[in-house]
Amino acid sequence: MSSTPTSADACLSIVHSLLCHRQGGESESFAKRAIESLVKKLKEKREELDSLITAITSNGAHPTKCVTIQRTLDGRLQVAGRKGFPHVIYAKIWRWPDLHKNELKHVKYCQYAFDLKCDSVCVNPFHYERVVSPGI
């Protein structure tokens, strides 16, 4: 694997690098489409794209800023014909492949967490913690 890309690199090489860090769970083609969609949305927001690259390639070892996309009307994102909550989609790809949508809680320093209902939604998977509901 070559050096870590930056926001100045081509979308394709960023997508390829980020795809190498996926955790399984989703099919590779779905993960690739979801990552491509995110990188394209962030291409104009270089600082956020760099935060995403750092967060994913360092596996959350370095604190990073929020990585935001525009909130949709119903709060969901469509990727490859499937709808889902954006923060959940990316947390499943990069952290917890078996995640359920009600198991995420944002960390206190996240300013654009999904639950905060801002116009932008943070999809940085390291800005969320998994809370597993106790079994019955």
pLDDT digit string, tens, across residues 83-128: 999 999 999 999 999 998 899 999 999 999 999 999 999 999 999 9
CATH at residue 125: 3.90.520.10
Predicted confidence band of residue 26 (pLDDT cuts 50, 70, 90): confident
Residue among 121, 122, 125, 130 at smallest CA distance from 99: 130
Does some domain include residue 120?
yes
Q: What is the reported pTM?
A: 0.90
| CB of 109 closer than 8 Å to CB of 65 | no
Please check the confidence at residue 133 and state whether its pLDDT lies above 80.
no
123 domain residue, yes or no: yes
Contact residues for 42 (Cβ-Cβ < 8 A; gap 6+)? 7, 48, 49, 52, 67, 69
pLDDT on residue 25: 74
Domain encompassing residue 89: 11-130
For residue 92, being part of any structural domain is answered with yes
Q: How many domains does the chain have?
A: 1
Rounded to whole angstroms, the Cα distance separating 66 from 52 reads 8
The band of 1, judged by pLDDT with boundaries at 50, 70 and 90, is very low
Distance CA 109, CA 46 (A): 21
Q: Is residue 28 part of a domain?
A: yes
Domain annotation covers residue 58:
yes
